Amino acid sequence: MRQKYIRGFRLSLSKLAWLSAMAFQGCGPAASSSHVSSISQDAQSKWAALVFGGNASCHPFGNDASSPYGLSMYTQFDEVVQDLRSQHAADVDYFLICHTVTGRIYYVSSAAPKVVSEVAPERLAEKVTEFTHAHGVQRLHAVGHSHGGWWALKLALQLADQIHFDRLVTIDPISRVTCRPPNISGCLGAPHDISEPEYQQIAASVGKWSNYYQSRTPYLHSSAIPSASENIELPIDHLKIDNSAEVWRQIRESAISAVKERNI
């Protein structure tokens, strides 16, 4: 496995604590590295966040020689985390994933926040399983944008018998299998390679599934998925939906509410 080291970088587990309750990744500009802090292990934490970036979500834009820290949502993480810190949120484990334009997958995790590693697509479920077992994780909170949303769906399906997904958030999920430009037919609508019975199985295995989608980008968009707990259509282009103020408002409110409930 190829590994790369990020000089002077350390991602706080608390940066992803908000995922413990939300009901989301993708392409975008380079993210800020502000508000990083040292990792503190929470012996009581048995849940973890899986964050899946979309196509070309590695920084700089889709470059094979870069890392998941370039996800456009990373700057959003910092803003939400500041709110959660005021609520004394516990730290969580995390697994942060990005894609390159050539289909390669890189990840960082709370186990080694300075190390960026590459994983073959066919081994991603195995790698996530190893991660959850190593950390004693019993509950997962997954969010994915575009191709990352497809991965979140596939893993929720593949790992349903092994671990519980408390929250699943898909943001304009696009199939990595059927979306093959210049033929865009497989890039329109919810992932075609997941059947309706499989969608129902996903819905039955997760605590809550929030599906965000848009129809503004005519050549690249998902759709409502009847099996989801809720479907929210936003008037935003595909490449901007992962930074939508409305998406983040709902995530922020849900996260803070969950933290308050845990602290009662």
Domain ranges of the chain: 3-31+43-263
CB of 73 closer than 8 Å to CB of 243 = yes
Read off the tokens for 255. Answer: 């996260």
CB of 186 closer than 8 Å to CB of 178 = yes
In this prediction, residue 29 carries a pLDDT of 32
In this prediction, residue 91 carries a pLDDT of 61
In this prediction, residue 207 carries a pLDDT of 87
Find the radius of gyration of the CA atoms of the chain: 17
What sign results for the dihedral spanned by CA atoms 106, 181, 179, 249? positive
CA atoms within 13 A on the CB side of 261: 9
How far from each other are the two terminal CA atoms of the chain, in whole angstroms? 44
Sequence-separated contacts (24+) of 195-200 with Cβ below 8 Å: 196/226, 196/227, 198/157, 199/225, 199/226, 199/227, 199/228, 200/227
Residue 175 and residue 220: Cα distance in Å, rounded? 11
In this prediction, residue 213 carries a pLDDT of 94
In this prediction, residue 62 carries a pLDDT of 58
Q: CATH fold of 3-31+43-263, please?
A: Rossmann fold (3.40.50)
Phi, psi (deg, nearest 5) at residue 141: -125, 110
In this prediction, residue 80 carries a pLDDT of 60
In this prediction, residue 64 carries a pLDDT of 56
pLDDT in tens, the chain (264 residues): 444 333 322 333 333 333 333 333 333 333 333 322 322 333 344 677 788 888 888 876 555 556 676 666 655 655 665 565 565 555 667 888 888 888 889 988 878 877 888 999 999 999 999 999 888 888 788 888 999 999 999 999 999 988 889 889 899 999 999 998 888 899 999 999 999 999 999 999 998 899 999 999 999 999 999 999 999 998 999 988 877 777 777 766 765 665 555 554
In this prediction, residue 39 carries a pLDDT of 28
Residues 6+ apart with CB under 8 A from 123: none
In this prediction, residue 110 carries a pLDDT of 78
In this prediction, residue 256 carries a pLDDT of 61
In this prediction, residue 191 carries a pLDDT of 96
| Residue 137: C-alpha distances to residues 49, 71, 128, 140 (Å) | 10, 24, 11, 7
